[in-house]
Amino acid sequence: MDCLSLAQTIFADLAAGNLEAVLQRCADDVRFTAVRTEPCAAVPAYGEYVGKDGARQFFQKLGAAVEFGEFRLDGAAAGKDLAMMHGHLRHTVRATGKVFDSDWALAMQFADGLLAHYRFYEDSAALEKAMEA
Q: Give the model confidence (pLDDT) of 43-81 as tens digits.
A: 999 999 999 999 999 999 999 999 999 999 999 999 999
State residue 41's pLDDT score: 87
Domain residue limits at 116: 3-131
Backbone angles phi, psi at 32, to 5 degrees: -110, 115
Per-residue confidence (pLDDT) for residue 52, from 0 to 100:
98
122, 107 Cβ separation under 8 angstroms: no
What is the structure's pLDDT at 42?
87
* pTM across the whole model: 0.91
CATH classification of the domain holding 74: 3.10.450.50
The tally of domains found in the chain comes to: 1
Q: Residue 124: its pLDDT value, please?
A: 95
Q: Residue 89 carries which DSSP code?
A: E
Q: Which residues of the chain have pLDDT under 70?
A: none
CA distances from 85 to 34, 93, 97 (A): 15, 23, 28
Which residues fall within 8 angstroms of residue 4, CB to CB, at 6 or more apart? 76, 77, 78, 83
Model pLDDT, residue 133: 80
DSSP H helices, 1-133, are: 3-15, 19-24, 51-65, 124-131
